[in-house]
Structure 1
Amino acid sequence: MSLKALFYVFIFSTLSWGQAVRVTLNVNSDLVDQTNINPVKTLKKAAQDFLNNTKWTSSRESNAAEIDIEMLLTISSFNNNSFAASLQVQSGRMVYNTNYNSPLVNFFDESFGFTYQEFQPFYFDVNRYNNNLISVLSYYINLVIGMEMDSFSPLGGTSYFERARTIANAALASNAQGWQANQAQNGRYDIIGALSSTAFNDFRYLVYNYHRKGLDTMTDTPKEAKEAIAAQLITLENLMLRQPNAYLIQAFFDAKAEEISQLFSDGPGVETKALLRFLNRFVPSMSGYWSSITS
């Protein structure tokens, strides 16, 4: 179902509710100049099994929709048991009473190194650093679940952000690549530090209000839903003045720009002048999307 169809068609589907986290892991080794890529194949299977066989959510969270996560692990090089790679993580969030999956997360981890010996077991302990690949994958799983939970209840993902921070602290103590504070704008330690800080609560409340008071009400009251989304986006202004280069906000708009553009270029008309001023001022890199918003 397209986003535009939300304005016109009521599609009531029975959503599958539970605690499952389903991960699709794709591994790209096109950059690797190796005659033997069997280690890459066994790595993919081991990581995929680890991601899908580990219980990531607690039984008390029975109201959360099943979460589908896509990961793309791009291997740039490997020598013996040492790998260099990048990772893209994407996930969506189902909108109530529709089969529309709203993009929620689009993180890109530019580079990290890890070791992997064929057929080694993947063992995860949230309080103990074991392997950089396991820590990175587990960190992003908890980050995505936390964002998903935030979208269903105010600050609902706190426990998962705390777990991600525990993972980051354990990895930081190991001096593994990509975990140092202030290492990069999109460094893992700084991302979870922001999500754990009350200074970013406005962002987390936006995630909730955008989805629960906006998209989830779109089929019943589309005009009011659009007005709520516009108002909530503008609430980020103070945070963006304080943190103009915050990676979390950049990643949010990377995931949402096309959706926002479609929302406000079709369907019931709402006042968008204030929204356009905000978007063009604070997210000018996405001006190609904002140009289609009707004022």
Structure 2
Amino acid sequence: MMRKLLAFLPLFVLLLAAGPVASAQELLAEVQVTTQNVTITDPTIVTQMQNDIRTFLNSRSWTNGTYRPEERIRLRVFIGITGIPQNGTYNSTMRLISTRPVYGTGYETNVISVVDRNFNFNYSPQNPLDFSPNSFVSNLSSLLGYYAYMVIGIDRDTFSRLGGTPYYELARNVVNYSANQSSTSEPDEGWRGTNSRERHFLLDNITDPQFESFRTGLYAYYRQGLDLFVEKPDEARASVMTALTGIQKAAVTRPGTLFTRAFFDAKSDEIANIFRTSQDQRLKQQLVTMLTEVDPGNSAKYQTVLK
């Protein structure tokens, strides 16, 4: 399944100039590994870890689809090492941000921004990262595989209605075998869903039928909204309004979910910019009233739409 992206970036042009590619991987990730208040005797290990993670994400085919170089999902991964309990074992945090180009523009918009606050893994530069979609290999490869599927799933949701479902199921496989594995020295409670901010909980949120209006809202917001804005701004605003209504419904049905909170934190400025130039005062007032209720923390931004 090809990702229908038409907003090419200079980097993609360079990739295309290198020659035709029969098939390509789904992700184009930048990876940064840093240390936080820890001492590593050999700093080249951090560099090697960073390179290995980037290669792991970018060189693997995560699905059966065919992605051209310009269609790959741009991804930034920031891993902070917070502790080294023993040689070769690392405690870490991770922030992950994926973006999506908007059709007909040079603008890229964030699609997902998540933080994994605590995970541990074993790593040795001598052992290449390996992964299986159906069995546990290592905690680091399981973590990266899980987020790869989540990123692809949410990206597909922006291009087709509920298009991410197959990839969420692949992510669930990773959660299940990682939570149940017992043959490793890498126990990780983040797989077990004991905390509302953990991986298990995130996946349950996005696949809950009560949350479907959030996912269909993603399609309306991106594919039927932002992608049409240059050519048909009024129609695009109407679609974005439909999307926000669906996302509001999900927020009311499932209050406090991380996905809705993250959506509005990432999109409040963008939403205000979309509607600020509208000539439809009734639509603008409707928007501000709705979002002030569902996203009060950003109400000052929405009020600027009326000025």
Q: Could you say which TM-score interval applies, normalised by the shorter chain?
A: 0.7 to 0.9
1:149 aligns with 2:166: no
Alpha-carbon offset, residue 289 of structure 1: 2.9
Match for 2:129: what amino acid? F
1:189 to 177, 200, 214: 200
1:207 to 218, 221, 240: 218
More displaced, 59-68 or 27-36?
59-68
1:132 aligns with 2:139: yes
User: Aligned pair count?
Assistant: 283
Corresponding residue for residue 252 of structure 1: 263
More displaced, 28-37 or 213-222?
28-37
SS in 2 for 1:235: helix
1:76 to 54, 77, 82: 82
Corresponding residue for residue 243 of structure 2: 232
Kindly tell me: are residues 267 and 277 of structure 1, through their superposed partners in 2, closer, same or farther at Cα, counting changes over 3 Å? closer
**Unmatched segments (≥5 aa) in structure 2:** 1-5, 17-23, 182-186
SS in 1 for 2:115: strand
Asked if 2 retains the 8 angstrom alpha-carbon contact of 1:82 and 1:113, the reply is yes
Q: Distance in 2 between matches of 1:63 and 1:278?
A: 40
Alpha-carbon offset, residue 273 of structure 1: 1.8
Alpha-carbon offset, residue 63 of structure 1: 11
Corresponding residue for residue 3 of structure 2: none
- Relative contact order (C-alpha < 8 Å, sep 6+): which is higher? 1
- What TM-score results when the alignment is normalised by the length of structure 1? 0.88
Deviation digits for residues 7-30 of structure 1 (CA, Å, limit 9, x no counterpart): xxxxx8557697541110111114
Kindly tell me: are residues 62 and 48 of structure 1, through their superposed partners in 2, closer, same or farther at Cα, counting changes over 3 Å? closer
Q: Distance in 1 between matches of 2:219 and 2:284?
A: 21
Asked if 2 retains the 8 angstrom alpha-carbon contact of 1:113 and 1:177, the reply is no
SS in 2 for 1:74: strand
1:171 aligns with 2:178: yes
Q: Distance in 2 between matches of 1:62 and 1:204?
A: 25
- What TM-score results when the alignment is normalised by the length of structure 2? 0.84
Corresponding residue for residue 272 of structure 1: 284
SS in 2 for 1:70: strand
RMSD across aligned positions (CA) = 2.3
Q: Distance in 2 between matches of 1:171 and 1:152?
A: 30
SS in 1 for 2:306: coil
Alpha-carbon offset, residue 225 of structure 1: 1.1
Kindly tell me: are residues 136 and 14 of structure 1, through their superposed partners in 2, closer, same or farther at Cα, counting changes over 3 Å? closer
Corresponding residue for residue 59 of structure 1: 65
Identity %: 28
Asked if 2 retains the 8 angstrom alpha-carbon contact of 1:209 and 1:229, the reply is yes
Q: Distance in 1 between matches of 2:46 and 2:159?
A: 37
Deviation digits for residues 70-105 of structure 1 (CA, Å, limit 9, x no counterpart): 110111122311111111110111112222212111
SS in 2 for 1:213: coil
Asked if 1 retains the 8 angstrom alpha-carbon contact of 2:190 and 2:198, the reply is yes
Q: Distance in 1 between matches of 2:125 and 2:69?
A: 38
Alpha-carbon offset, residue 150 of structure 1: 0.7
Corresponding residue for residue 46 of structure 2: 40
Alpha-carbon offset, residue 135 of structure 1: 1.0
**Unmatched segments (≥5 aa) in structure 1:** 1-11
Which structure has greater helix proportion? 2
Q: Distance in 2 between matches of 1:214 and 1:88?
A: 27
SS in 2 for 1:124: coil
Deviation digits for residues 107-164 of structure 1 (CA, Å, limit 9, x no counterpart): 1111111111232111100111121111111111110111111111001111111111
